[in-house]
């Protein structure tokens, strides 16, 4: 054939393919979510096979191993004892609480590790919602916006006092980024960053995570604060607001089923974009691999590559440590 243009020439050898590869995953792309609890044991989490709930000692060791493999950051998710959960979520800003102790232990053991904390009330709230809850006369639930933000500010300040590098509001209340920024600045924490979950969808893909933390809403759902999965323009609206309110980085969640959102957001803001490959995404891969139906390692790396190619600068993934090992 007289065919002067043959795209396959660029795929002919591994060397050429590596020259023309547009998206390359590295361990430096990953943020490892870590679950922790008060106990001294490190049990597997029943709802999330392959994921562990760490003691403080186990947490420090696991974070150190991931960091040594090139993973720059971890994000902490505590399981709070039922006896400490209240309707005002007061435990979230206890300086002697689980999260501040974990931050101090991590920063002491691994000074170069970036420690990110989740700012939301669901682990601490007896109602299992990300915000404070008010019940109206008819028994309906209202998730209070402005009252919640005051508590979130206390929570973020508590994390900052303990040495968190980045606080990460995942609650989806309106106006929380501006409020957190001014609370942090007023307390002298102008170097603490805000990674905002700007476009967080009301997703069934979070199911296994809520099992891991026992943090499922006791009543109702999260649709009055998390976004409708059918909406894309609304994500841009949220991102632009968070940018104007002073977010340092923004986040899209879930990741895999929302690659179009990651791309649109990437094109709409100069801010770094994070994407969260959530528990349900992880478990769909893990369960299919455990059944022998797919090659788990190949599927995981391809999924992560797709998320990065869509425009994510960093990826929160339960595969962070394993993927870093695979990429070595």
Provide the binding-site residues for ligand PBG, judged by CB under 6 A.
118, 120, 122, 130, 170, 206, 209-210, 222, 278-279
Residues 6+ apart with CB under 8 A from 182: none
- State in angstroms the smallest separation of the CB of 304 from ligand PBG: 15
- State in angstroms the smallest separation of the CB of 307 from ligand PBG: 14
Comparing CB distances to ligand PBG, the nearer of 210 and 309 is 210
Comparing CB distances to ligand PBG, the nearer of 211 and 306 is 211
In the chain, which ranges are E strands? 30-36, 53-54, 73-78, 114-119, 132-135, 141-144, 166-169, 193-200, 249-253, 273-277, 314-317
End-to-end CA distance of the chain: 42
Residue from 79, 85, 200, 222 carrying the catalytic annotation: 200
What span, in angstroms and rounded, lies between the C-alpha atoms of 130 and 111?
Answer: 30
- State in angstroms the smallest separation of the CB of 5 from ligand PBG: 44
- How distant is the alpha carbon of residue 219 from its chain centre? 24
User: Annotated catalytic, 297?
Assistant: no
Residue nearest to ligand PBG (CB): 209
Comparing CB distances to ligand PBG, the nearer of 27 and 123 is 123
HEC assignment per residue over 71-139: CCEEEEEECCCHHHCECCCHHHHCCCCHHHHHHHHHHHHCCCCEEEEEECCCCCECCCCCCEEEECCCC
What span, in angstroms and rounded, lies between the C-alpha atoms of 293 and 255?
Answer: 22
Comparing CB distances to ligand PBG, the nearer of 55 and 203 is 203
Q: In this structure, what are the phi and psi dihedrals at residue 276, rounded to the nearest 5 degrees?
A: -110, 110
Comparing CB distances to ligand PBG, the nearer of 109 and 216 is 216
- State in angstroms the smallest separation of the CB of 152 from ligand PBG: 11
Residue from 85, 222, 253, 321 carrying the catalytic annotation: 253
**Angle (nearest 5°) at CA 80 between 78 and 85:** 135
Of 55, 133, 154, nearest in space to 88 by CA:
133
* Cβ 230 vs Cβ 253: under 8 Å: no
If 0-12 CB within 10 Å is exposed, 13-18 middle and 19+ buried, where does residue 273 land?
Answer: buried
- State in angstroms the smallest separation of the CB of 108 from ligand PBG: 26
Of 104, 109, 120, 115, nearest in space to 34 by CA:
115
- State in angstroms the smallest separation of the CB of 212 from ligand PBG: 8
Comparing CB distances to ligand PBG, the nearer of 9 and 223 is 223
User: Annotated catalytic, 253?
Assistant: yes
What span, in angstroms and rounded, lies between the C-alpha atoms of 274 and 53?
Answer: 24
Cite the active site residues.
200, 253
């Amino acid at each position: 054939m007289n065919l002067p243009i043959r795209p396959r020439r660029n795929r002919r050898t591994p060397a050429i393919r590596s020259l023309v590869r547009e998206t390359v995953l590295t361990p430096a792309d990953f943020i490892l979510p870590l679950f922790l609890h008060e106990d001294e044991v490190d049990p597997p989490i029943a709802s999330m096979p392959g994921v562990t709930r760490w003691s403080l000692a186990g947490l420090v060791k696991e974070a150190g191993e991931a960091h040594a493999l090139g993973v720059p950051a971890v994000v902490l998710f505590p399981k709070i004892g039922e006896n400490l959960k209240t309707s005002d979520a007061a435990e979230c800003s206890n300086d002697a609480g689980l999260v501040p102790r974990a931050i101090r232990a991590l920063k002491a053991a691994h000074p170069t590790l970036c420690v990110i904390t989740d700012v939301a009330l669901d682990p601490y709230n007896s109602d299992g919602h990300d915000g404070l809850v008010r019940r109206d006369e008819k028994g309906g639930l209202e998730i209070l916006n402005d009252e919640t933000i005051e508590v979130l500010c206390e929570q973020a300040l508590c994390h900052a006092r303990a040495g968190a590098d980045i606080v990460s509001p995942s609650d989806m209340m309106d106006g929380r980024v501006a409020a957190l920024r001014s609370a942090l600045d007023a307390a002298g924490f102008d170097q603490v960053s805000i990674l905002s979950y700007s476009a967080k969808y009301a997703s069934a893909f979070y199911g296994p995570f809520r099992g891991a933390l026992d943090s499922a809403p006791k009543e109702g759902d999260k649709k009055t604060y998390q976004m409708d999965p059918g909406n894309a323009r609304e994500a841009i609206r949220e991102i632009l607001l968070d940018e104007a309110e002073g977010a340092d980085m923004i986040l899209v969640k879930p990741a895999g089923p929302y690659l179009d959102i990651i791309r649109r957001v990437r094109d709409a803001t100069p801010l770094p974009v994070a994407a969260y490959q959530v528990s349900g995404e992880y478990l769909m891969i893990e369960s299919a691999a455990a059944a022998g139906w797919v090659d788990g390692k190949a599927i995981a790396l391809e999924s992560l590559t797709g998320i990065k190619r869509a425009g994510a600068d960093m990826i929160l993934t339960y595969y962070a440590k394993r993927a870093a090992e695979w990429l070595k």
